[in-house]
A and B are shown apart, each in its own frame.
Chain A
Amino acid sequence: MRQTWTFVIFGAFSILLLTGSALSAETFAQRIDALLFAKAPSQADDAEFLRRVWLDFDGGIPTADEARAFLADKTADKRTKLIDKLIAAPRFAVRMADAFHVMLMERRGDNETWKAWLVESFKTNKPWDAMVREMLAPDFLDEKQRGAGYFITRRLEKVGQQDTDYPGLTRDVGRMFMGIDLQCCQCHRHLSVSDYKQIDFSGLYAVFQNLKLQPADDKHKTPWLSEGLIAAKYEFVSVLTDKKAQTAPRIPFGEEVMIPASTGDEAWLVKPDRKTKEVGQPKFSPLREIAQRVPAPKNALFAKNIANRVWFLLTGKGIVEPLDLHHTENPPTHPALLELLGKELTEHRFDLRWLIREIAFTQTYQRAGAHQRHLTAEQQLRSFLIATGERERLEKNSKPDVNVDAIKYSLADFEKAFAAALANPAKEPVLAANPSLRSALFFRNSDHVQWALKPRTGNLIDRLAKQSDPAEDLYLTVLARLPDTEEKAQLKSWIAAHADDKSKALGDFAWALLSSTEFFVNH
């Protein structure tokens, strides 16, 4: 209850602040820029901005029509309008869900309920602290929340003969929600990071090792978690010093949670019962305690971590890198910026959409030649299908038939093939999507790529073949920009040299564009 009031007060306070900054006529975006640049950096031209913003907020490239309309638009505020249009579109929630799925689950596999929860959360602009509370201690009986439980339940699944990976889960909670990798502190103090102590790992571990993964049943539609009774502090020993210590449940660098003294029947809300297979529910839930304390304004690393991760998502560079190694000896590249982002995000009640929109308005985000990033597997697939004009056909096709060209593949087939060729391996933090031999062979030789470049009613090659001068359409479609004279001439002479089969010539030219570095990176 007290927490809720704090938020209301915070909320009111931030409105005051906002009004204040509006009066001083300096927007939040301008404050960010002022911290990074003494002089405004030169700005990206419209085409460069267009492709970047579409890839970031829609997850794919714009169509040729959308690109043409934007480039022709002469109004002064067209960038602001585009940003707002893309953020308001349904695709925004899906793109964010994709990005956060990869970030949070690191390619551990897909799950419908989880994905639906992510999409719904971004659609309703659920504050980040609320999302994290649901991920850490979901109510598995609440249809709207149970998808969030996948963050924990997936990590507690048994793999072969291996022990349940409680240490891995503990580590990931620290990495994802506080930006600290406590892995080394499982057995001793961190050897190279003096901020990280064994108690920081152990205080979280005490909570997570107390969980038990339960299978879905009549009451629970998904696998769920039960908690055991914690009546004493968790004991741990350093393998370096053999020194024993103990801790109650505790978030890293925080205070210990008081363990209630009640014992026996008194300690249980629902008593375990072997006969009815009731696993029981203790009154004291360390998981719920932690789920209140991690995503809280008081925990400064919580805000800094997500601010840094959002900044990374939009600019390709973390203010702190690695993203999960915030500590005093690894300072941010721009300390004042991280401080500002964390503070303002907290005051805006962890409103991610607000932060994303503000960053998009900065001159830093819109500058020319910003840090180039390779597209993720999801961005590549969507962009490839928009460019080749095969997206709708695949979306409609639920029953692929290898013998019929038009329905040879479904969208799921393409999703699988692109992920296999382009996605990072499971459990690797996705810091950068790097080109690999596997992806090069896929573009060069796979049937999927080849199929999409054959002329077929309504697709790119079919459309281009009907035009006498297809250069503009081709470049707008694949690269969201107009070709220059040299490029136009190059296409013309290519078609002339392969005049016997125009569709084939166009397919090959489109292939070269789609396999080029310019297509693989954002602008």
Chain B
Amino acid sequence: MRQFIQGIAENSHYQATHLLQILRQIQSRYHYIPKAAIEQLSGLLNIPRTQIISVVEFYSFFHLAPRGQYELLISDSITDHMLGKKSLLDYLAKKLDVAVGEVREDGVVSLDNTSCTGMCDQGPAGLVNGHALTRLDRSGIDKIAELINQQKPVDEWPVELFQVDDNIYKSGLLLNQQIEQGAALRSAFKRGIKETLKEIDYSGLRGRGGAGFKTAIKWQFCSEEQQTERYVVCNADEGEPGTFKDRVLLNSYAHQVFEGMTVCAAIIGAKQGFLYLRGEYLHLYDKLQSILDQRRQNGLLGINILGAGLDFDIEICLGAGAYICGEESALIESLEGKAGIPRNRPPYPVTQGYLGKPTVVNNVETFLAAAGIAVNGGDWFASIGTEKSKGTKILSISGDCVRPGIYEYPFGVTVQTILNDCGADDVLGVQIGGPSGTFISNQEFDRKLAFEDLATGGSFIIFNSSRNILDMVHNFAHFFAHESCGFCTPCRVGTALLKKQIDKIVDGHGSAGDIVALEELCQLVKSYSHCGLGQTAANPILTTLERYPDLYQSRLKEISFEPGFDLDGALETARRMANRDDAGAHLAQTENEHE
């Protein structure tokens, strides 16, 4: 092991910024991060061992205790649940003889849940040693159990288990025609860098991650910073449950995305770029690396790009299972090899980003659009969409519809049009923008997707009338409690309390005061949290409470109060140890029962 770690540290030039990538390799080889590895890395990278431990503890895909040689993770997205995930997971656990969350006694396999893996249109999904599994069903699980029990290496497993499809059902401005390799750069150099920024400004392009900051302004701010060492970062940490469009863009439109990053580098004067790829998309890593190599060979990356004097290259960094790293400052922390805890903003990344230097962070789709605009001009883009939302939006559609997949629409499209196109009827409501977004009911389908009305990062989850809204709320509350980074109390404690309170109501232990307490808690978490995660964590509850108050009320008991846990069950251990079973050794759940 000493030699192995020495080797990977050397390959990383002993840079602590590469800690995440180093730990990924150690986890992949040993299925945990051994204590000795931490000691050794601490010396090699010249950072305290506690810093390494904090990183290991922060990311879901790193473990201090051994996991199985086959680490199986099953996606816990609401869309996977809608496709029967729960019974599949139970079946898998039984088949493999391992409890969820545990390692089998022989150490061969471990099984657990993981947050949405971005395969919502082809779930139920999972990961085995980091590789994406799709369309799981009982026969697939039988196969997997067999392969594991035979201890067949994952790279020898049948490819159909790992088949990932694009499922593009509707193309528009961007998906219809891919630019030719180098076309955006040639146009930009020909037109002039400043003129190209003007075109992007004129196009009205706004950030596609959801927040919608104007791209040209961000790039201009960055280019005007005094610091000349600047960075371009592409945010492909697509963690919002229900979103998977970046996976498709990187699978089939990666050239154009990289070209958009390179155009950005030319405009802001950056020499280094990063693609921060979520760990769940490991299956894209080799392909993306070879595309980068190809671009280097074609003179589109590296020294003196296209002879225009631009030096720029792109490095791919893999995440390790942390939703919060989609927040741009947390992503930068993660790129620097640290736990993904959001920074105080301001200063924004455009002034102090990666290593404290000016940095542009944009979504995959934003770079894709920017490359298109560099070729076709601002008018091409601005002629489509609405007044404040120019161009098109690429949506990830999943849930109850005939054709889940990727759809591109001009901004301003109504929800009803989308539902018609993807084959959804008997719809109860749609979760737009993922758990952090908004739930709209079937009374609101004339609303429009645009920054003026329903802003979205692209997640569009459809629920038909057979679904229970509270199941969704319950799933989202658990998601946020799991993904809170733990830095600020309102979010760390608040999301855990929200989860507990929702559990109490869903499990039927709620009473009148509990809804009031829930609402107060929602407002507290929303108003006092440090970053967007906490500020939006209560949205699923607030938006459904507003639309379906009766649904919540129907779960309440008509008594003043009932504990949310099993009181008598809490005495079980003491009863057993004291060897008692008299009346005094029991408690009624509510007083009316027999007190």
A associates with B: no
